[in-house]
Structure 1
């Protein structure tokens, strides 16, 4: 039985102009429950992550600013959200959800966080709607607890995982792979262990071909014993920021391919949803729901 991290705080309201990106966090579990793809038994509610665990990845000064609501105006602009205690609490819960998913992934092969994938967060700052880097925190936690020795982070959001790349640039135990738009945010790219920048207008056929060539070789080379998968749906042709030409079905094929490679190689995986900015929230929801449907069908 797959397990899925979800808390209503994931969809907590923001000031006008910031609410739309949060809608999917209500709609995804609602749709999956409605259609019977999952039941309430699949869902679990995380608690906030411990400070000591966050500090495996993030600087104490930055974490104190988040908790004490002392981010500067410039720091808030870089993140893209106005600070609030609820927003910080949300991030702490999401991060623990990703850690909890790791334990369920060891047991069931896969576990998913309905939120997460906050890959633009650095040790000392947040960027691009990301406050804490949940996958980085979880990876460092697994390494500290000796639950994993070699980790791969497969980041298929259309935006480069710059925070993740920087956090692990000198860590041989975590391999970072980012396949993203070359001319998309962030405009200053960090160096992942492997970056595959895509030109504007890349089709789904081209996208899948590149992924199908790269990922099997990476798995063979890195020999990971645990994987994180950021399954962003901003690669869709309908996405207003993505600049790629990937269809809904091709996005589903991407997820199926990643799951198949990891399952075949007996590599447990924790999945987070990442970005999605199609003007029609139903398309975003359907693309994310496909990830959950595939996980339940394949594991």
Structure 2
């Protein structure tokens, strides 16, 4: 089936979460990205809506006691504080739907070659605890799900969020079938880094030229070391110069060039790609949405 756009995955619950006033997490951005895409001409009916996963879907990969306590609202205060959200039934519903969205995006990418989730990138979640606004690691779960198919043995996760994908790295630590690549700010959260297959830590203030040169070298190195059947791409925009938590100096054109570099290289190699939007923490939601839209420009969804 030929589609005018690559499949896009979205659910309104992505942005439906009541948070304390001035909470750091920009929950409104997901609906904002959806609305901006529609304003740019994407038909509202083009979006595919995921259904929430169940706790049982998660315990196939993640620690059962953690999943049960978190979903049931009995996780202790310190563990919830590490996650960074107050517990609520809506938080769990939103998280289970968002993770499902990434798994659905991966399945659609296997069918169409490219698909994008309007959330995702919860890479700080480990098997037995959550951290940094991440409850369940959607990237690793999606990787394991696509490997059910006979034509997908090895998945490469390319994580370009400004924060190292520590949870993903730990989950894949002894899994040779998932190859992890993280290009991130070295002096940034998490303070205790895990070991990805390739880790590139960038200095504060790194600009477009150095960033793009480093990324090009990193991608070529990754593909020399690994011959994946499938790519999961975390296109976090907290690398942006105006991001409140990023500390890098990547411009909006630099973000677009980055996303095009990743997608073009994967296309040249004939690899299906599932994209998630990752982090981004400008308080100006309209400005933040515009930076996230660069991924959709690079993917040919909008001009």
Q: TM-score range by the shorter chain?
A: over 0.9
In structure 1, the residue matched to 2:156 is 152
CA distance in 2, matches of 1:33, 1:216: 35
Specify the alignment match of 1:200 in structure 2. 204
In the TM superposition, residue 291 of structure 1 has moved relative to its aligned partner by 0.7
Alignment of structure 1 residues 17-166 onto 2, 5 Å: 17-18=22-23, 21-36=26-41, 38-146=42-150, 148-166=152-170
1:216-295 map, 5 Å? 216-295=220-299
Q: What is the rounded CA distance, in whole Å, between the counterparts of 1:221 and 1:42 in structure 2?
A: 37
Per the alignment, residue 11 of structure 2 pairs with 7
Range with bigger deviation, 276-285 or 121-130? 276-285
Q: What CA distance in whole angstroms lies between the structure 2 residues aligned with 1:190 and 1:24?
A: 28
In the TM superposition, residue 13 of structure 1 has moved relative to its aligned partner by: 2.8
Q: TM-score, with normalisation over the residues of structure 2?
A: 0.94
CA contact (8 A) 1:53 1:137 kept: no
Q: Aligned partners of 1:128 and 1:297: how far apart in 2?
A: 30
CA gap of 1:90–1:146, structure 2 versus 1, over 3 A, is: farther
* Distance in 2, Cα, partners of 1:186 & 1:252: 25
Q: Distance in 2 between matches of 1:145 and 1:14?
A: 38
Name the structure 2 match of 1:190: 194
Deviation at 1:296, TM superposition (A): 2.6
In the TM superposition, residue 127 of structure 1 has moved relative to its aligned partner by: 0.1
Map Cα deviations across residues 119-161 of structure 1 (whole Å, 9 max, x no partner): 0000000000000001111111222454520000000000000
Q: Is the 8 A contact 2:151 2:229 kept in 1?
A: no
Q: What CA RMSD, in Å, does the superposition of the two structures yield over aligned residues?
A: 1.5
> Does structure 2 retain, via aligned residues, the 8 Å contact 1:13–1:19?
no
TM-score of the superposition, structure 1-length normalised? 0.96
| Pair 170,297 (structure 1): closer, same or farther in 2 beyond 3 Å | same
State the distance in 1 between where 2:197 and 2:301 align. 31
User: d(CA) in 2 for partners of 1:151 and 1:169?
Assistant: 14
Q: What number of residue pairs does the alignment pair up? A: 297
Quote the offset at 1:19 in angstroms: 7.3
